[in-house]
Amino acid sequence: MDLIDILTLLGIIMAGMSVVVALIVFLQFTRQALKGVKPLIKHPIPKRKIIKKEIPMSKEAKEGVTFNDIFMFMIAVPLVLLWVGFAGFVIHSGLGKPEVLENIEAYTTLIAILGGPALLIIKDALDVWKQEQAEKTAFYKVKAQAVIDYNDTVLKQAQDIESKAQEQEHKMESKK
């Protein structure tokens, strides 16, 4: 299989994925638009009341899958993988095949075209990760301060109890 055939196949795959994403976007907008529309025909069958057991769920589990999640898995992840894979393929092929080195400008141009959006996606993912790490650090700082404050309060309370006990003991001794 020639390198041009591989590039053509990758292009067809990406075009198919873009059609799928466009369809998902269209269906999402249609669903949002029809959410507030009342049905023209009312169902004659009354709805039965379904009793559900409440299962405690985390906040992440309640949110469900968002459009951004779908976008990341349908566009961003394949784009980054395609970019890294193609760059690795060109490097590997360039080491063993002189015809790849003759057309290296075309390949590097394609890598650069794919690399622009891929690098932005990677940068955004790293920014999100850094934000999560900052939130964790802030949480642990607050938690550590709460533990310190609690320990200080317990120590002060123990000292107050001890001083009250000593005062009571002195009062009892002075009355004797």
pTM of the model: 0.46
> What pLDDT was estimated at residue 145?
94
Q: How high is the mean pLDDT in each 10-residue block of the chain (176 residues)?
A: 75 77 76 66 58 55 63 77 83 79 83 84 84 90 94 95 93 84
Residue ranges per structural domain of the chain: 3-35+66-175
Position 173 scores a pLDDT of: 87
Per-residue pLDDT, 31: 78
Q: Which residues of 96-117 are buried (b: 16+ CB within 10 A; e: fewer)?
A: eeeebeeeeeebeebbeebbee
Q: SS3 for 43-65, per residue?
A: CCCCCCCCCCCCCCCCHHHHHCC
